[in-house]
Chain A
Amino acid sequence: MNVHTSATAPALPILTIDDLHIDFALHTGTVQAVRGISFELYKGETLALVGESGSGKSITAQSILQLLPEPVRYTQGSIQYQQQELIGASTTAIRKVRGDRIAMIFQEPMTSLNPLQSIEHQVAEVLIEHKGMTRRQAAARVLELFQLVEIPDPKRRLKAYPHELSGGQRQRVMIAMALACEPDILIADEPTTALDVTIQAQVMALLKGLQHKFGMAILFITHDLGVVHQFADRVCVMRKGQLVEQGITEAVFSQPQHPYTCELLDSEPSGNKPPVSQDAPVILDAKQVQVEFPIRAGFLGRVVNQFRAVDGISLTLRQGQTVGIVGESGSGKSTLGKALLKLLDGHGDIHFDGIQIDGLEPLAMRPLRRKMQVVFQDPFGSLSPRMTIGEIIAEGLKVHEPLMRPDQRDEAVCAALEEVAISPASRNRYPHEFSGGQRQRIAIARAMVLKPKFLLLDEPTSALDRSVQVRVIELLRELQDKHKLTYLFISHDLAVVRALSDHVMVMRTGEVVEQGPTEEIFNCPQQAYTRELIAAACPLGSSAERACNPA
């Protein structure tokens, strides 16, 4: 497998991983997280390590800097940085490499910075530690670095604290910190996953430019094949701790050799939804919806200003229709969804199923609740960890059909679970025993057991791996056909929105930028912002262009 593929790279690899095995000895048994992977990294190239969650890609990355927590066992193999063995190296030797020769950036720019120190201080610390600079020297260098990573108005930002920066800016600070010592290798562990697509494109472009300037090697860990396609020179595809395929990006994407690679490439959501007829009954009709959050100040919490999260949006949903709402974080798309369901207070004329629901008392609202259900983004947060999934699904029935006998209720729960393809026998288990995709199915079952007419899907697939996503999308389609459901689908993921909805609404800062039938929006966007969004989403191209015939 160690075929030297990159033509431009010099003869000696800067990092060699050979037959690496990593075990975790837990009290429940040994988990083999990485099982014999080998690859080389050359100066100046970008190698992407691709795989779904649990494939061992992050563990491999962390093992390079020996960052893995205790019960870890390196049972076999070696990790060599310029012929220096890193496995079992002394702490002092590792620390010389860490942050100096090999730097790392992480997924969460929110949590990887210390909230109590200014960003200048945090970046300077690296320089003082590794380069032995004085505070003053370091300060000058930090300013240079901030200019390098294109932080707007860097002089003024020096003393800023992490919470004063946006997500993209924080990730830039992380990159500045990683680059402080001009490392030979930059390990980027899902650096853009938490960012919006347009910001993601900017950060990736920045990384690419910096790589060009310094000639460092980038080991890029991600599950996002679109980004890999655009930025990586070579790809290693990982699955269950093993390397199933590696090669030059173009080759892997156009002629994947391993069936799993094909599966990954084809897991891009596909298909589209035909529009419903114009005379289908209207389920939800909202006019001029406005949501304002008061900005409070002072000891008594006096309202000093209003932040308008949703600013006068109107929309109509007909039976069987799926309206997709697209927008970046902070665009007000989730707020709009919640306001339509009266989960938070808003102004505006909202009619649901012919009944005016704005201004309705909570008690009067309750019978309508069963007709309008919601599925949330986070499959880990949306199920109460202390209830069995049977109890979770039955809860709505207890509210809306208090007279139902326990055995009837149990039957309904079983039926709902079967509908989402989860064995009813597992209804006495707790949420943590299920995978992300399964939990999302349970959340869907909780909504479906009440036989609603309308489902608000608030980023239901965003936390899932692509292959799992595709199955959830299929399930949603199936349910919609079977029960004539109406969906309001909120997402930042354009591919999913395109596959599921027949009408798209692009939102930005609480307002509609553009709306129309899905294909029209995607094929000829009228607004610059829509075009930017679509361009930044890095589409993979259809499988038709790909010769998917594994050897």
Chain B
Amino acid sequence: MSNATFAAQGDSLMKDALRRLFLNRATLVSTLLLSVMAISCFFGPLFFSIELDDVSWEFMGTPPGEGGHWFGTDTNGRDLLLRSLYGGQISLTVALIATLVSLVIGVSYGAISGYMGGRVDNLMMRFVDILYSMPFMFLVILMMVVFGRSILLIYIAIGAVEWLDMARIVRGQTLTLKRKEFVEAAHALGVSDRQIILRHIIPNALGPVIVYVTLTVPKVILLESFLSFLGLGVQEPMTSWGVLISEGTANMEGAPWQLFFPAAMLAITLFCLNFIGDGLRDALDPKSR
């Protein structure tokens, strides 16, 4: 039997999952939409002749459409479309980096802790408990004092907090998975602990992890806006969706567009992420085929 004859009939989980992912129409549309959103946030501003903090004195707080400002302007006369795009840059980066940090640390930490069990597990989880009990604000302010103010710190601070939940979820999954016979069978085959965690534990724990990731993203974006609101996050003239939304909320009665546009962009992003998360979860589960 030659290898080539069968190669066409099936692929690894990853390839297979990708194929199934794109068979899901909602996921496909969401992925496209999210890509458009990301590309326009990062490259859109290049096509503007104005700067982020350029003020047009004759158009202060004007509604959309006037004076070439498609999304209108804010109370200081700055173009809302441009600000929304720049805000997107920050929010999307925060979402990406903080989620990745929480995913990588949380999944590996939780899987190792749960798999090792016993004293190691006890120690590792008590450490998590200690971090949980530290006030988040205190942690951030402390970091600001020590390292100075930078946007990178925000990413790290948020990621450093978010992985705790993830570690707990993955540890719980691991505890049930490691009692399964297929893990025992792998052990009997002589597979090393590292490979058991990578090949047997983590792939089977992915379902809840992905669901949790889709919940983490909005949480992270909102956390960033909260920090910025307190003056600990991004600083003027830079902005983020969270900041724009909180400004928009203040002017909601007089200038509803200032709330509507950034909120709509955030909502679309979160919507897409939820669909992608659903699609990913199904695609990674061979049973849903």
Known pairs A425-B6, A428-B10; A373 contacts B188 (CB<8 A): yes
Q: Is A445 an interface residue (CB 8 A)?
A: no
Q: Decide if A106 is an interface residue (CB 8 Å cutoff).
A: no
Are B287 and A382 within 8 A (Cβ)?
no
Partner among B6, B10, B185, B191 whose Cβ is within 8 Å of the Cβ of A443: B185
Within 8 A of B (CB), among A354-400: 365-367, 369-370, 372-374, 376-378, 381-388, 390-391, 395-396, 399-400
B160 is an interface residue with CB less than 8 A from chain A: no
Please measure, in the bound complex, the distance between the C-alpha atom of A385 and the C-alpha atom of B12, giving whole angstroms: 13
Residues on the B chain within 8 Å of A453, using CB: none
B189 on the interface (CB 8 Å rule)? Answer: yes
Are A446 and B185 in contact (CB-based, < 8 A)? yes
The answer for the CA separation of A366 and B194 in the assembled complex, in Å, is 14
Interface residue? B204 (CB, 8 A): yes
Partner of A400, one of B13, B122, B190: B190
Cα distance A384–B181 in the bound complex, in angstroms: 9
Least CB separation from B190: chain A residue: A369
**Nearest Cβ distance between residue B196 and chain A, in whole angstroms?**
10
Q: Is B187 part of the binding interface, using a Cβ–Cβ cutoff of 8 Å?
A: yes
Q: Which of B6, B185, B192 has the most CB of A within 10 A?
A: B185
A interface residues, tally (CB under 8 Å): 43
Residue in B9, B119, B204 whose CB lies within 8 Å of A385: B204
Chain B: minimal CB distance from A296 (Å):
10
A395/B191 in contact, CB under 8 A: yes
Q: Closest Cβ of chain B: how far from A490's Cβ, in Å? A: 14
Q: Do A384 and B190 touch across chains, with their CB atoms under 8 A apart?
A: no
Contact of A384 among B12, B182, B289 (CB under 8 A): B182
The reply on A218 being an interface residue by CB < 8 A is: no
**Bound CA–CA A341/B190 (angstroms):** 11
Identify which of residues 261-296 in chain A touch chain B, using a CB-to-CB cut-off of 8 Å.
Answer: none
Residues of B within 8 A of A395 (CB): 186, 189, 191, 199
Q: Does A427 contact B (CB under 8 A)?
A: yes
B182–A381 CB distance below 8 A: yes
A301 within 8 A of B: yes
Q: Are B1 and A424 in contact (CB under 8 A)?
A: yes
- Cross-chain contact B184 with A430 (CB below 8 angstroms): no
Q: Contact: B191 with A384, CB < 8 Å?
A: no
Closest to A368 in B: B190
Which A residues are CB-close (under 8 A) to B190? Answer: 365-367, 369-370, 396, 399-400
Kindly list chain B residues whose C-beta atoms are within 8 Å of the C-beta of A365: 190
Q: Once bound together, how far apart are the Cα atoms of A410 and B289, in whole Å?
A: 24
The answer to whether A410 and B181 touch (CB under 8 A), given A343-B188, A366-B190, is no
Query: Is A216 positioned at the interface, with any CB of B under 8 Å from its CB?
Result: no
Contacts of B186 in A (CB 8 A): 384, 395
Name the A residues within 8 Å of B191 (CB-CB).
395-396, 399
Contact with B along A400-435 (1 / 0, CB 8 A): 100000110011001000000000110111101000
Partner of A430 from the list B3, B182, B287 (CB cut-off 8 Å) is B287
Complex CA distance for A399 and B289, rounded to whole angstroms: 30
Query: In the complex, what residues of A have CB within 8 A of residue B3's CB?
Result: 406-407, 410
Decide: B9 and A428 in contact? CB cutoff 8 A: yes
Assess the B13–A428 pair: CB atoms within 8 A.
no
Q: Are A386 and B189 in contact (CB under 8 A)?
A: no
Chain A residues near B195: list those with CB within 8 A: 399
* CB within 8 Å of A: which B249-289 residues: 284-287, 289
Within 8 Å CB of B206, what residues of A?
386
Query: Chain A nearest CB: distance from B190 CB in Å?
Result: 3
Chain B 192-209 residues near chain A, CB threshold 8 A: 192, 195, 199-200, 203-204, 206
Q: How far is the CB of A416 from chain B (nearest CB, A)?
A: 12
From 133 to 159 in chain B, residues with beta carbon under 8 angstroms from any chain A beta carbon are none
Given contacts A396-B190, A399-B190, contact A432 B287 (CB under 8 A): yes
- Tell me the smallest distance from the CB of A87 to a CB of chain B, in Å: 32
Write the nearest CB–CB distance from B273 to chain A, whole angstroms: 23
Q: How far is the CA of A498 from the CA of B126 in the complex (A)?
A: 51
Give every chain B residue within 8 A of A428 (Cβ-Cβ).
6, 9-11
Contact flag A374-B185 (CB < 8 Å), given A385-B287, A432-B287: yes
Q: Which residue of A lies closest to B203 (CB)?
A: A386
The complex places the Cα of A255 from the Cα of B12 at a distance, in Å, of 53
Residue A450 interfacial (CB < 8 Å): yes
**B286 to chain A: which residues have CB within 8 Å?**
385-386, 430, 432
Give the CA-CA distance A369 to B2 in the complex, in Å: 29
* B219 CB within 8 Å of chain A: no
Kindly state whether residue B25 has any CB partner on chain A within 8 Å.
no
**B180 adjacent to chain A (CB < 8 Å):** yes
Contact partners of B182 in chain A: CB under 8 A: 381-384
Most A CB within 10 A of own CB, among B1, B284, B287: B1
**CB contact under 8 A between A386 and B284, given known A395-B189, A400-B190, A424-B1:** yes
Q: How far is the CB of B276 from chain A (nearest CB, A)?
A: 19
Given A301-B122, A427-B6: A384 and B204 within 8 A (CB)? yes
Most chain-A Cβ atoms within 10 A of its Cβ — which of B6, B9, B182, B186? B182
- Which chain A residue lies CB-closest to B188? A374
A425 touches B9 (CB 8 A): yes
Asked if residues A386 and B13 are in contact (CB atoms below 8 Å), the reply is: yes
Determine if A388 and B181 form an interchain contact, defined as CB atoms under 8 angstroms apart. Answer: no
Looking at the assembled complex, report how far the CB atom of A403 sits from the nearest CB atom of chain B, in whole angstroms: 16
User: How long is the Cα–Cα vector from A94 to B204 in the complex, in angstroms?
Assistant: 41
Q: Could you show 5 A-B contacts with beta carbons less than 8 Å apart?
A: A374-B185, A382-B181, A386-B13, A427-B6, A432-B286
